Amino acid sequence: MTSTAPVVTRFAPSPTGNLHVGNIRTALHNWLLAKKHGGRFLLRIDDTDAARSREDYVEAIRADLAWLGLHPDGEERQSLRFALYEEAFQRLAGEGRVYRCYETAQELDLKRKILLGRGLPPIYDRSALHLTEADHAAKEAASERPHWRFKLDHDSPITWDDGIRGPQHFDPRQISDPVVRRADGSWLYMLPSAIDDVAMGITDVLRGEDHVSNTAAQVQMFAALGANPPRFAHGALLTGAEGKLSKRLGSLGVADLREAGIEPEALVALLARLGTSDPVDPALDADALAASFDLSRFGRAPARFDDTELHRVNAAIVHHLPFARVRHLLPEGMGEAAWDAIRPNLAHIGEAADWWSVVTGPVAAPEQDAETRTFLHTAAQVAAGLDWADPWPALTQTLKDATGRKGKALFLPLRQALTGMDHGPDMKALLPLIDRAEAVRRLSA
């Protein structure tokens, strides 16, 4: 691959469950890298496992990516590509790069235990390589069907320059020949993935560090397929605030996040930067995040993901969202001025409705002492005579001059009478949203 090849990335989920935060992060990183280079981001549905793959999960994956704004530039499905795998497989079989094995799961388990008991790494002993054609014929006659392993080349050391982990070296003798095909003919993940990465022209594979040992074997599969491997980068896994990512946090899916009032922009802003020392910047949209996406900023230490931070970023994002983005989520009648006035007070868009009902009323104001009631009556009279385009500065200045009240004694009773609350949006922005007659009524109540 030359460095001028256009960047093509892929997100390759298995549709055996809903996407969780970790997958979403992988999808995002692949999307960001492709966008940064003006390249293409492909979705590949890894549904070779017919028993565990489900169509509703395929649809949920597409819907989740759409919600996140990560629109694929193309989609492939492994279950429609079996002919391609068969062809490559037959070639590899002809070259002796895949070989037939008959050990049962129990036999393999026993072999592993014996090796571990001797303090040796549990590497497959390749005994199936010593079977003769007569042995195979006898197995076949006894209706034993083989599964297939890819034969690693023990004489070529495995190396790649990982975009996040730096130079990687593996001794192929320390790795078991991976099983690539089951006895029933079905495919395991490893080989179809490498075949597809070649066929789809994938230039960059970004995935979690739980795939590092797969990459070691796949590097040799690319060579066996006559192709150069893509560039690889393996991101550190996510952890929770206190060590390991909790099951709950780790399994959070788009539906849970939506329900918690998390906006896609917040997830994108956080997951684009988590694992780097760069700050999360709620002002950056996905394109800006793509432009500044840089694998070399990612560290090898686990990236800390926690709820508190997600909600903090979400609030900061909500404070930036333009009216056009949220209008369909707001209560009837709530316009742009109201959104702009209210959004700095929101943790979630859903809370806008609460503040809008403060604007439209009725509100229940706290009891006030006699002197404050007099003050509020004066306020009602002043308000009745004000131009309502920007009433708050005039109202407070007039009252300050007339009553000598200032600071909290001036502002708090007005806020309480007008909103029923002790805190909330800036009154200068909020008051003009409240109908003048209604404001006067609240002040004189």
Surface-to-core class of residue 302, CB atoms within 10 Å of its CB (0-12 exposed, 13-18 middle, 19+ buried): middle
Closer Cβ to ligand GLU, 193 or 345, answer by number: 193
Whose CA is closest to 282, among 324, 315, 252, 305?
Answer: 315
Closer Cβ to ligand GLU, 193 or 372, answer by number: 193
Q: What are the Cα distances from residue 358, in Å, to 256, 338, 339, 345, 382?
A: 29, 11, 13, 13, 21
Structure tokens at 144: 């034993």
Residues 6+ apart with CB under 8 A from 253: 18, 19, 20, 64
Closer Cβ to ligand GLU, 115 or 227, answer by number: 227
Question: Which of 12-20, 54-62, 107-115, 241-249 is the region at the interface with ligand GLU (rule: CB under 6 A)?
Answer: 12-20
Distance CA 121, CA 49 (A): 29
CB of 82 to ligand GLU, least distance (A): 16
Amino acid identity at 66:
A
Distance CA 33, CA 69 (A): 15
Whose CA is closest to 89, among 158, 179, 209, 163?
Answer: 179
The alpha-helical segments, DSSP class H, found in 279-351 are: 286-291, 307-318, 323-326, 336-342
Distance CA 6, CA 9 (A): 10
How many binding residues for ligand GLU (CB under 6 A)? 8
Q: Could you say which of 18, 193, 203, 372 contacts ligand GLU (CB under 6 A)?
A: 193
Q: Are 293 and 349 within 8 A, CB to CB? A: no
CB of 207 to ligand GLU, least distance (A): 4
CB of 10 to ligand GLU, least distance (A): 7
Length of the chain: 445
Residue whose CB is nearest to ligand GLU in the complex, by number: 46
Distance CA 157, CA 38 (A): 34
Interface with ligand GLU in residues 100-119 (CB under 6 A): none
Closer Cβ to ligand GLU, 195 or 224, answer by number: 195
Q: Which residue has the tokens 């080349």?
A: 153
CB of 213 to ligand GLU, least distance (A): 12
The reply to whether 298 sits near ligand GLU by the rule CB under 6 A is no
Q: Could you say which of 31, 160, 189, 356 contacts ligand GLU (CB under 6 A)?
A: 189
Distance CA 184, CA 146 (A): 8
CB of 46 to ligand GLU, least distance (A): 3
Q: What are the Cα distances from residue 295, in Å, to 3, 63, 153?
A: 16, 27, 30
Whose CA is closest to 61, among 27, 32, 95, 87?
Answer: 27
Closer Cβ to ligand GLU, 46 or 162, answer by number: 46
Q: What are the Cα distances from residue 243, in Å, to 23, 305, 312, 395?
A: 19, 10, 20, 54
The reply to whether 14 sits near ligand GLU by the rule CB under 6 A is yes
CB of 171 to ligand GLU, least distance (A): 22
CB of 50 to ligand GLU, least distance (A): 14
What are the DSSP E strand ranges found in 283-384?
Answer: 303-304
Closer Cβ to ligand GLU, 73 or 336, answer by number: 73
The reply to whether 13 sits near ligand GLU by the rule CB under 6 A is yes
For every residue of 156-183, DSSP letters joined together read S-EEEEETTTEEEEE-GGGSPPPEEE-T
CB of 193 to ligand GLU, least distance (A): 5
Closer Cβ to ligand GLU, 24 or 359, answer by number: 24
CB of 57 to ligand GLU, least distance (A): 12
CB of 330 to ligand GLU, least distance (A): 38
Q: Is residue 15 reached through a cis peptide bond, with omega within 30 degrees of 0 on the bond before it? A: no
Closer Cβ to ligand GLU, 211 or 273, answer by number: 211
CB of 197 to ligand GLU, least distance (A): 8
Binding marks (x or -) toward ligand GLU, 35..74, rule CB under 6 A?
-----------x----------------------------
Binding marks (x or -) toward ligand GLU, 208..247, rule CB under 6 A?
---x------------------------------------
Question: Which of 8-16, 256-264, 273-281, 353-361 is the region at the interface with ligand GLU (rule: CB under 6 A)?
Answer: 8-16
Closer Cβ to ligand GLU, 100 or 231, answer by number: 231
Task: Using CB under 6 A, list all residues that contact ligand GLU.
Answer: 12-14, 46, 189, 193, 207, 211
